[in-house]
Chain A
Amino acid sequence: MAISKEDLEQIRDRALEAIKEAGALEALNDVRVAFTGKKGELTEVLKGMKDVAKEDRPKVGALVNETRDIIEDAINKAKENLEATALEARLENETIDVTLPAKRRRLGHMHPNAIALDELERIFTGMGYEVVEGPEVEKDYYNFEALNIPADHPAKDEQDTFYINGDILLRTQTSGTQIHEMEKGRLPIKMISPGRVFRSDEVDATHSPSFHQIEGLLIDEEVTLADLKGTLETFAKKLFGEDTKVKFRPHHFPFTEPSAEMDVSCFKCGGKGCRFCKGEGWIEILGCGMVHPHVLEMCKIDPIKYKGFAFGIGLERIALLKYEIDDMRLLYENDYRFLEQF
């Protein structure tokens, strides 16, 4: 049996037609078996090669191969198309409602005090301050006397103190840590000291018998009031935003001289006046000053060679202002409906 070009073309055309009609992978496979499979038409045709004249064999062989390639290419393409369609259909089938509720693991919440403290610590450690801690149950000497507040000083009455006995008390300020640090005799000092303090104020919306302060102290050979201003202005801008303005007002603390209170431009209204700043445009946030030479002397630090500045920040004050909490009692009730908002 001879192999004619016409036969091959006819097989090819039929194959292509069958491929076109195969709508599924199985049908396509049937086409492949029918034409190029072991007992397929084209395979059968090849069996007739032995009858082809020797000199014609290369030409006919090429013709058969060409036909096979065309058919196989067509099958592969059709297969790719069918697979793509099938995948598309599957994916479409798998569509979900992405707006259904999330599966969440309920994380806990940090206390607003702790969030504010973290932020303060980040700012000051970034500026090279080391965090240190001091005792909450303190001796009179560290809470008062060494801070230039002698026995009969009126400031001692101003800070209604809880006493354990005549000499031991609950610290009314974190300033005592200044003394503990200075007494260690390692200079220079660059520290902040956050902690719990106590004053005998009845609990109400703006008072608590227990609250927190962050003390700051820097002692070195060349320290100026201008440096104190610069340091605290940098702090205020980092905490409340770059546009924050600061104002230093003279004040009095027994252990610093000169002393100041620092106001920041109201970060709610930008200084125009609102209910947060009581219409003043400014909010008082801390007290500060140059360490009193007498305090240095009591800690055996030469006040001619060394100078320093100190500051004290009320943590709750920052937390209440920053997070718009209107009642201090909320900070100590630990109601989850409050805590989950932080």
Chain B
Amino acid sequence: MKTPLSWIQTFVPDLNCTDQEFMDAMTMSGTKCEGYERLDKNLENIVIGKIEKIERHPDADKLIVCQVDVGSEKVQIVTGAPNVSEGDIVPVVLSGGKVAGGHDGGPLPENGIKIKAGKLRGVESNGMMCSIEELGSSRDVYPDAAEDGIYLLPKDAGLKPGDDAIEALGMRDTVFDYEITSNRVDCYSIMGVAREAAATFNLPFHYPDVKETGNSEKASDYISVDIEDKDLCTRYIARVVKNIKIGESPDWMKKRLRACGIRPISNIVDITNFVMLEYGQPMHAFDLSTIAGNKIVVKRAKDGDTFTTLDGEERKLDSDVLTICDGEKAVALAGIMGGENSMITDSVHDVLFEAATFNGANIRKSSKRIGLRTDSSSIFEKGLDPNNAYDAMERACSLIEELGCGEVVGGRVDVHGELPEKKRIAFEPERINAFLGTDISKDAMLSYFKRLEVEYDENKNELVVPTFRQDLIGFADSSEEVARLYGYDKIPTTLPKDTSQIGGIPFKIRVENIARDTAIAFGFSQGYCYSFESPAVFDKLRLPEDAPERKAIQISNPLGVDFSIMRTIPLNGILGSLSTNFNHRNENVRLFELANIYLPKTELPITDYPEERMQFTLGAYGDIDFYEMKGVVEEFIGKTGMDGRIKYEVSKRSYLHPGRQADVIYDGAKVGYLGEVHPLTAKAYDMAKAEVYIAVIDMPEIVQRASFEPRYSGVAKFPAVSRDLSMVVPENICAQDIDDIIIQRGGKILESYKLFDVYEGEQIERGYKSMAYTVVFRAKDKTLSEDEINSVMKKILNGLERLGIELRS
């Protein structure tokens, strides 16, 4: 939303402050001003000049030499512009002055362009006559400006040489840009912002001078209005203007439109645009002669209908699009755009003016479906006040009479349901103070409301809210009005006297922090990946067609297929990130992520919350192997207070190396898995030459078993005895099988065991391997005797023999 200061000042004539003060004060009272632009930026020393004499340049065919009266003196200016003649009134930048841009209309330089006296092909030139582009504007808003020429000012406007040309062009103005919040529909208008300015600066607000209009005829003799779909149209006002005299708008109106970036077209069009800006109420003008049957019917289109809008495009409609129809056909898309069939042309004789209010949400959705968003629809979609439509229509007709561009027919056809009434809110000053933490007097509060045009009904102790403030409904709203006019900056700064003082993090996050710390200690850096990904991920991971992971939740309106499903497996993020690193030639990269996967609890599509499972995912390439990854997993699990034994089961995951992968088992449950990434999957991630290792821990399994209550069990007082076991082991026996025997048979006195050598090769018979363990025994309460140790060792050896293991001497 943009407003020129000059327009605000027509409502608040006493407003007198710097641009910065205006911006700051408006922002602090709730109309966030995001910036401002002075229209006269970099325009210095530019005056009205009158061309008295034009001669040819002696040495250049394309140049002319002008003698220009600039008031205080006559200056000689050389120009190449083809459009000037003697007697023209032109803007002249004097030597030493500045213009905003070049004549080509390109981007404006930050500090403008300085103009100095000089010679052009040997002829002295003191200053420059300006084009509209050099004045920082464009032919878009000055359609009367010549292309590639000097901007010619009207000769009949009483402009004298030496006058301020910038003032004459309406450029002594500042345009402010606001971010209007969705609750303040009234502020999508100059008047709304001006009302806020008056309240902010505590200055009187003057409504425009709107005169009663109309001849002795009755509009209802010209037109009838029927609203068929009352849910989508709350009010429709029609007025008729006869004997239209299409012409230019007056200068003051053109200046205001231009300052808002709107191109003046003709008086009738300009008036509808002017009122739309001023009142925030879009209006529409129909050529009355095109309206069949002298009637307007507001109704939904039919599915499959087509309609040609005034931009010449054919639009496909459906039964949720509201149309304005005459006795036979649609003549406009309600609130969006008029039709080609009823648009006004220069030959228009009689006009039907429309000011209506429509269901905002419907306009928003229709305009989205049709693919046509206009100034009009973007205002209507906010939901407008039907009372404002009436005022806007009266303002428009008043302007038509004032500008003499037609004969307004008396009366109006005004069809509406129940109109909004002024809402009432209980006035609760003590409660407001208790809510804000302030001590503002009742009188001060009432003065704020008065500034906002909120009346006070003393008998009922109620605030009476004008209908343009549809956002003021209850107590909280009334306290916000007090707060913002009192000043947020003046509200004290205190700390809550609350009773709940115990903060902290939940157990789940505590366990996640341990995962993070462990990963970091092992050199893994933390990554953040997206929660949604492409279904092609499943193929990269080589998952079979019936894999449960393929049952993923789909986003119905994704940014693209690459972001279309919620991940059911966390590997894609980490593998994608490793690939990025690998292809940037980063060496030895280790990454981890802590994030959710999303598992549907029922068949797809889901109808309830899915299960969000936190996954601790590690991935690395380079200086890493399976056993180091396993080490990270075991250290993490150990640090969570899970001191039981971690076991491994050979797994068959399609994305992992078939001989280098395992499920991590704790307490009989699968708590995760790890392995080397299958070369084909690695290749799918552009890491064909890398050995990539991953580990995934299913965090809910850890969180439910973790505990942070360690117990001290004393330090050993009696000596330990260690024995080495050197074995020849059949190839198919795993270390874990031997561990099982040692643990089961070692019993209470087994303190620890350690595999210290594995060998397969020449000295060992084929199909066998050599393995060597150190086993340590210790009792808590005594020194173990040789007999005790021998008997345990014998049990262990018997167990090992059953597995086909032979002891080496």
Instruction: Report which A residues bind B (CB closer than 8 A).
Output: 105-111, 113-114, 121, 124-133, 135-137, 139, 151-155, 157-158, 162-165, 167-168, 170, 188-190, 196, 198, 200, 202, 209-210, 218, 220, 222-227, 229-231, 233-234, 247-252, 254, 257-261, 290, 292-294, 307, 331-337, 339-340
Inter-chain contact B592/A337, CB cutoff 8 Å? no
A189:B500 contact, CB within 8 angstroms: yes
Q: Is the CB of B580 within 8 A of A334?
A: yes
Chain B residues lying within 8 Å of A210, measured Cβ to Cβ, are 530-532
Contact between B505 and A259, CB atoms less than 8 A apart: no
Contacts of A227 in B (CB 8 A): 437, 494-497
Q: Provide the residues of chain A in CB contact with B531, threshold 8 Å.
A: 136, 170, 196, 198, 210
| Structural contact, B181 and A252, CB atoms closer than 8 A | yes
**A331-B528, A336-B586 given as contacts; is B577 within 8 A of A250 (CB)?**
no
The answer to whether B27 has its CB under 8 Å from any CB of chain A is yes
State the CA gap A307–B27 with chains docked (Å).
Answer: 26
A234 to B492, CA, bound (A): 13
> Of A125, A127, A258, A292, which one neighbours B484 at CB under 8 angstroms?
A258
In the complex, chain B residues whose CB is within 8 Å of the CB of A252: 181-184
Known contacts being A136-B596, A137-B609, is A229 close to B493, with CB within 8 Å? yes
Q: Which of B309-317, B552-560, B688-696, B721-729 contacts A (4 or more CB under 8 A)?
A: B552-560
B381 contacts A336, C-beta separation under 8 Å: no
Closest to A170 in B: B555
- In Å, the complex CA distance between A332 and B563 comes to 14
Whether the Cβ atoms of A259 and B480 lie closer than 8 Å is yes
Map CB proximity to A onto B491-532 as digits: 1 under 8 Å, 0 otherwise. 111111111111111101100000010011111111111111
How many B residues touch A, CB cutoff 8 Å?
91
Q: Is B195 located at the chain interface by the 8 A CB criterion? A: no
Asked if B749 lies at the interface with its beta carbon under 8 angstroms from chain A, I say no
- Once bound together, how far apart are the Cα atoms of A168 and B604, in whole Å? 13
B256 at the interface (CB under 8 A from A): no
> Is there an interface contact between A135 and B497, defined as CB atoms closer than 8 Å?
no
Do B525 and A337 touch (CB < 8 A)?
Answer: no
Q: With A154-B382, A340-B525 given, is the CB distance from A250 to B484 under 8 Å?
A: yes
Once the chains bind, are B501 and A250 in contact (CB under 8 Å)? Answer: no
Q: Which has the most chain B C-beta neighbours within 10 Å: A129, A222, A258?
A: A258
Contacts of B522 in A (CB 8 A): 108
Question: Looking across the interface, which residue of chain B has its beta carbon closest to that of A209?
Answer: B559
Looking at A153, A200, A226, the one whose CB has the most chain B CB atoms below 10 A away is A226
* B586 in contact with A335 (CB, 8 Å): yes
How long is the Cα–Cα vector from A218 to B494 in the complex, in angstroms? 14
Determine if B734 is an interface residue (Cβ-Cβ < 8 Å). no
Cβ–Cβ contact B555 & A162, under 8 A: yes
Give min CB distance, B250 to chain A, whole Å.
36
Contacts A108-B526, A196-B595 known; list 10 others, CB within 8 Å.
Answer: A108-B592, A137-B612, A164-B606, A210-B532, A224-B496, A248-B491, A257-B479, A293-B476, A333-B580, A339-B591
Do residues A250 and B488 form an inter-chain contact, with CB atoms below 8 A? Answer: yes
Interface check B436, CB cutoff 8 A: yes
Of all chain B residues, which has the CB nearest A191?
Answer: B503
Chain A, Cβ-Cβ closest to B588: A106
Check if A249 sits within 8 Å of B32, measured CB to CB. Answer: yes
| Complex: A261 Cα to B489 Cα, angstroms | 12
CB A165 to nearest CB in B, in angstroms, measures 6
B494 touches A230 (CB 8 A): yes
Bound form: Cα–Cα A247–B493 in Å: 11
Q: Does B330 contact A (CB under 8 A)?
A: no
Nearest CB of B to A79, in Å: 40
Q: Which residues of B contact A151 (CB under 8 A)?
A: 361
User: Known contacts A111-B527, A225-B437, A226-B494; is A249 also within 8 Å of B521 by CB?
Assistant: no
Given the complex of chains A and B, what is the CA–CA distance between A258 and B437 in angstroms? 12
With A125-B503, A252-B183, A292-B476 known as contacts, the answer to whether A336 contacts B559 (CB < 8 A) is no
The yes or no answer to B106 lying at the interface (CB within 8 A) is no
Q: A152–B368 Cα gap in the complex (Å)?
A: 14
A225-B437, A307-B435 known; A139 vs B609 contact (CB < 8 Å):
yes
CB-CB nearest in chain A for B476: A257
8 nearest CB pairs, A to B: A226-B437, A224-B437, A152-B361, A252-B181, A250-B30, A334-B527, A258-B480, A334-B577
B590 to chain A, nearest CB (A): 6
Residues of A within 8 A of B479 (CB): 257-258, 290
Identify the closest chain A residue to B438 (Cβ): A226
Contact B497 A131 (CB under 8 A): no
On whether the beta carbons of B483 and A332 are closer than 8 Å, the reply is no
Enumerate 5 A-B pairs (CB-CB under 8 Å) in ascending A order: A218-B496, A223-B498, A254-B183, A257-B476, A293-B475
Contact A332 B530 (CB under 8 A): yes
Q: Which residues of B contact A139 (CB under 8 A)?
A: 609
- Say whether A113 contacts B528, CB under 8 Å: yes
Least distance between A251 CB and chain B CB atoms (Å):
6
Q: Is the CB of A258 within 8 A of B476?
A: yes
Given contacts A251-B32, A335-B586, contact A126 B494 (CB under 8 A): no
User: Is A130's CB under 8 angstroms from B491's CB?
Assistant: no
B272 to chain A, nearest CB (A): 24
Is the pair A124, B503 in contact by a Cβ cutoff of 8 Å? yes
Could you say which residues of chain B place their CB within 8 Å of the CB of A130? 502-506
B610 close to A333 (CB less than 8 A): no
Q: Does B797 contact A (CB under 8 A)?
A: no
Question: Counting CB contacts under 8 A, is B89 at the interface?
Answer: no
Closest A residue to B180 using CB positions: A252
Q: Do B605 and A165 touch across chains, with their CB atoms under 8 A apart?
A: yes
B631 contacts across to A, CB distance below 8 A: none
* Interface membership of B807, Cβ < 8 A: no
Find the A residue at minimum CB distance from B505.
Answer: A131
Residue B477 is within 8 A (CB to CB) of chain A in the complex: yes
With A129-B503, A154-B182, A200-B557: A110-B520 Cβ-Cβ less than 8 Å: yes
- Taking a contact as CB atoms under 8 Å apart, the answer to whether B524 and A225 are in contact is no
Q: In chain B, residues 174-233, which have Cβ atoms closer than 8 Å to a Cβ of chain A?
A: 181-184
Least Cβ distance of B395 to chain A in Å? 26
